[in-house]
Structures are given as C-alpha cells and as structure tokens.
Copies of this chain bind each other. A is one copy, B any other.
Amino acid sequence: MSEFGIVIHGGAGIILKEKMTPELEAGFHAGLTDSLDSGYEILKSGGSSLDAVHRAVNVMEENPLFNTGRGSVFTYDGGHAMDAAIMDGKTLKAGAVAGVQHIKFPITLARLVMEKTPHLLLAGAGAEEFAQAHGMELAPDEYFHTRRRWEQLLEAKAKAGETEFPKEPKSLGTVGAVALDKAGNLAAATSTGGMSNSRYGRIGDSPIIGAGTYANNLTCAVSTTGHGEYFMRALTAYDLSALMEYRGMSLSEAADDVIFKKLASLGGTGGLVAIDRQGNFVMPFNTPGMYRGHYLAAGKPETTIYKE
C-alpha cells in the first residue's frame, strides 16, 4: 500500500546471468533507474499518473538498450515497426499507434492520438502523416540504426533460414510503465520495437488496449511484455482487471491467474507490471528474466533483472 508510485518493465525473455556482461547489466539497471526517477519526480510533485508513465517510457525510448524508439529491433525488410499505447484510468480514454517508423517517441505519438483525434489507433504511414501534421519531426533511419540490433537481425535471419516466419525470439523486448498518482488516478503505457526479423506488417499486443495495455481507476493499471499473440488471444491486461472487478480478486491473485494459469495454459511466455488504486503492485513473469523496477512513495528506486 502506498500513496503513489510507479512500476516499470523493460522486456521479458530468456535473460540469463551467464550470457550477460557486467557492463550490459549495469546499463540496464541504470536505464531502469533513470526511467523510475523521471516518473517518480512527476508523481512526487503532484503530477498525473498519465504524465509519469509517459515520461518514464520516453526515457526508455531514447535509451538504445531497450527495444523501442532508438533501440528498436529491425524488421525482415531492414526497417522498423514500432507500436505503443497509453491509457488513462480515470476517463478510460486511450491512444495507440502501430507499425510506425521514424518516430523517436512512439508513446508521445500515442498520447497525441488520444488527445487530438476522435480515434484510438492509427497505423503505418498514415500515423506518420498524422505525426507530421501535428508538428512532430520525423527522425531519419540512421537514428534507429544500432549495431547490436543489426547483428540481432542478421542472427535471426540466419536462424530462420528458408522458413517464412522467424523463430520465437529469445528476448521479447517491450517497455512499459504503470503509475498511481496522489489524486488516486491510474495510468498505463507500453512501447515496443516489435519482433526482430518480423514481416508482413505483424502487429503485437502492445498497442492493443486490453491485451498489452489497460488502465481503469476501478481496478488497476497494467502493461505486459512477452510473446504478444498469446496476450492478444487471452486479453491479458483487461482480464486482470475483470478478475478484480467481477470476481473480487486482489491484484496479486488476479495477476498470478492471468500469467501462471491462463497465459501458461495457452503456451505463452512473458510477464507484466501492474499497480492498483491502493498502491499495491505486482511484477509476475514466467520467463527466466524480466527487466523491471518500482519506486513507491517514501521508498527508493529498486531494479531487478533475473528471478529472485
């Protein structure tokens, strides 16, 4: 229980200590802490949970370590396809973008969709056109070209060989944040660079309200990460909320149910972060690791990578 706070993730997957370098590990801890600090600062000074999750995600979007914004993985065609969604638990308003390139801060564009259009989801070139029409500068391809991601694409292509679709990637990078503010409002935001070597305009769960992102002041705020197709079939984010609202489960009971029972029964892997109106939070995952952190009122920022 806490008066306010923020909980974030930077992706779940086969993240193993023996495969990690000390530098990379330190980088992830620092990146998560930066994100937590920036969101917490807003909450502490009385700002909204919407502003806090927006800012916390922006910080990860500009950090090349995370799979979104600058550090987005490459698609099969050598381009990018970023997805993002944001939702306000007070109004149930939401905005999302899917399959966008040249956008430094996809979550900022998702928020623009929420606030400046009668729509919820804009995709592809149309979403980029909307961004420009509203004064957002497009970034050149080079901004998103990181050596680590390019090598991951080559590796994924080699592994896929002649098969049409990429193998399930080891690390399913997505970033997300959920927050409770001093006014008691909840918000959630999720942003991703998608799946390395993906093709045919594949869209995952991140920009889908109810699958990868959901917030409702009646229950909780949720952001997921993992093998998106399973979260889309299970409506994981909304299901967590529905179990609380309709079954009277606690946040922790509902989160365990959706990750360890429902997602697992479909064969899906991943995790989520969620916070409720009382400041309880959870970070369950069924993969070896999940980059994650939390910073609650009167506490300090804590970040973790592997299973405890």
Name the segment of A26-34, A178-186, A208-216, A278-286 touching the other chain: A208-216
Contact A232 B200 (CB under 8 A): no
With a cutoff of 8 Å between Cβ atoms, the chain B residues found around residue A208 in the complex are 121, 208-210
Q: Which residues of A184-200 have CB atoms within 8 Å of chain B's CB atoms?
A: 198-200
Contact A200 B99 (CB under 8 A): no
Name the segment of A8-16, A37-45, A138-146, A241-249 touching the other chain: A241-249
- Overall SS of chain A's interface: mixed
What interface size band does chain A fall in? Answer: 35 or more
With a cutoff of 8 Å between Cβ atoms, the chain B residues found around residue A266 in the complex are 92
With a cutoff of 8 Å between Cβ atoms, the chain B residues found around residue A94 in the complex are 232-233
Q: Which of B119, B133, B199, B228 is in CB contact (< 8 Å) with A229?
A: B119
CB of A126 within 8 Å of the partner chain = yes
User: Which residue of chain B has the shortest Cβ distance to A265 in the bound complex?
Assistant: B92
A200-B126 CB under 8 A given contacts A229-B120, A233-B94: yes
A123-B123 CB under 8 A given contacts A242-B242, A246-B246, A247-B246: yes
- Bound together, the chains give a CA A198 to CA B119 distance in angstroms of 10
Cβ-closest 8 pairs across A and B: A126-B201, A246-B246, A130-B200, A126-B200, A123-B201, A210-B235, A242-B242, A121-B203
Q: Give me the interface of A with B, judged by CB distance under 8 Å.
A: 92-94, 98-99, 117-127, 129-130, 133, 164-165, 168, 198-204, 208-211, 228-229, 232-235, 238-239, 242-243, 246-247, 266
